[in-house]
Structure 1
């Protein structure tokens, strides 16, 4: 792979994870909108935006051909429920000033992937990977003992996104077509919510101030754009490099929570982050060794 391709891949990866890391700042601007309303707008406008991309690329044929394989449609429907619930939990976390918990959840995601690989795909873990999982479990024990409860929102975000990745990995559909089909799969549920709210006199897509009305369609664009950049990055970079870039998103979220949103970083929670960072370091070292061995 050429140096230019690698540099382009890093640029695409930085763009994708940078946008994801910027999400708390963006969605905080929609604080006056209910999380479910934001989810509806995000999915609908995301579907519209991806439809335009598919039209521009002339990629409708392979995308619509997926409907000829019901098992693929069913798996994409499951993936849609997982990613939709993840989006909603994230929006709730931002709305409830729990961005630090969101950051913790996305730091946990790679370690959730390790566990899912072992439990579902019967993958064998290396000693370093076992150690990384153990440190993550210690972090959860610390949260429970020191803070009095498990970090449910963090566990849900990490678990739902890990499961989404597992399901999506088993569906041979490219990122853009897959996103269109996933957002399309959410439409029946969102239509029920829209009709219920309309009957109660609440408008889901209109009636907001000018700034909010402009930001809601942009939420759909920002849903699709980083996935496109991420797909471009993975085509140009090895998995070890992609894995290292992965930590940009939750790091940006943590810094945003502490420095911009003034969320308190209790010493006990700092211990939890320290344990998870140590686990991620071991996980990254294991991935790097596997890459160097070519397996």
Structure 2
């Protein structure tokens, strides 16, 4: 018979894995499919609706989980509010690029961006947090850089969509790492900071007759409202999983999301993926494998 603490720890891990899998399944398959269904709407309008409905969804969760006091404390903390305003701007840029890329036939590039992101996080940690790299991690970053260069040289231009997604989300993660606030509270404040701009823009679209929402297409309206759920839910599930799992486990599972995006882009939507792309992605996957093995070996036992 297993000791009680081992049983409870195993249960905690299983729950954590389920939360993490749900988050990465949403990011890898459900979210891009969701935005594909909204491809008839301009990306900026989708973004504005995403912000507004995510704010309402997050506020509902704040009151449901009784975290309104933490919300008020964070709002009245000048430094934290300033940092969250910065992170809000970064995540809005990331969302807009992602929405445009998905609906413009660039799912392969979005997947590339999120494959690059973990390695970019390593570089940002060195530059801004004075973290130290193992030789294997240096090799992984250089190998990923070669992969990006291969894509750039073969196409005649750098994969800007992938790089913009990786950089905006990388710097977003950096800011959120240094601001001391609970995940749900931070996400709610970010959404609320962006909401006045989103509402102002949506008001303009209704005034000039260019609004896509609430024009009698109920299915479209429902899809726009659901952007609040598909935005907030995976972030919350990810935070719940991260609290229960080792960082190395989360690091391994996070590659499921861009893998899903890549499969959707190539298999479902017929995006181009030639031998040069295969070489470049192969180099980046090798880099991720080197980085992951290095992280697993250096991770403290728990």
What is aligned with 1:13? 20
CA offsets 1:146-165 (integer angstroms, 9 cap, x no match): 11110000000011000000
Deviation for aligned residue 1:55: 1.1
Deviation for aligned residue 1:68: 1.9
Distance in 2 of aligned mates of 1:132 and 1:111: 8
Moved more, 48-57 or 190-199: 190-199
Runs (4+) of structure 1 exceeding 4 A deviation are none
Cα RMSD for the two superposed structures: 1.3
The residue matched to 1:120 in structure 2 has which SS? helix
Distance in 1 of aligned mates of 2:209 and 2:218: 20
Deviation for aligned residue 1:292: 4.3
Stretches of structure 2 lacking an aligned partner (at least 5 in a row): 1-5
Paired residues of 2:75 and 2:189 also in contact (CA < 8 A): no
Q: How many residues align?
A: 294
Paired residues of 2:52 and 2:199 also in contact (CA < 8 A): no
Does 2:127 correspond to 1:119? Answer: yes
What is aligned with 2:275? 267
Distance in 2 of aligned mates of 1:28 and 1:197: 21
Paired residues of 1:41 and 1:205 also in contact (CA < 8 A): no
Paired residues of 1:45 and 1:219 also in contact (CA < 8 A): yes
Distance in 2 of aligned mates of 1:183 and 1:127: 39
Paired residues of 1:16 and 1:225 also in contact (CA < 8 A): yes
What is aligned with 2:262? 254
CA offsets 1:255-278 (integer angstroms, 9 cap, x no match): 000110111101111111101101
Stretches of structure 1 lacking an aligned partner (at least 5 in a row): none
TM-score normalised per structure 2: 0.94
Distance in 2 of aligned mates of 1:11 and 1:28: 26
Please show how residues 78-89 of structure 1 align to structure 2 within 5 Å.
78-89=86-97
TM-score normalised per structure 1: 0.96
Please show how residues 123-272 of structure 1 align to structure 2 within 5 Å.
123-203=131-211, 205-207=213-215, 209-272=217-280
Question: Given the alignment, which residue of 15, 33, 36 partners 2:44?
Answer: 36
Distance in 2 of aligned mates of 1:287 and 1:206: 49
Distance in 2 of aligned mates of 1:228 and 1:79: 17
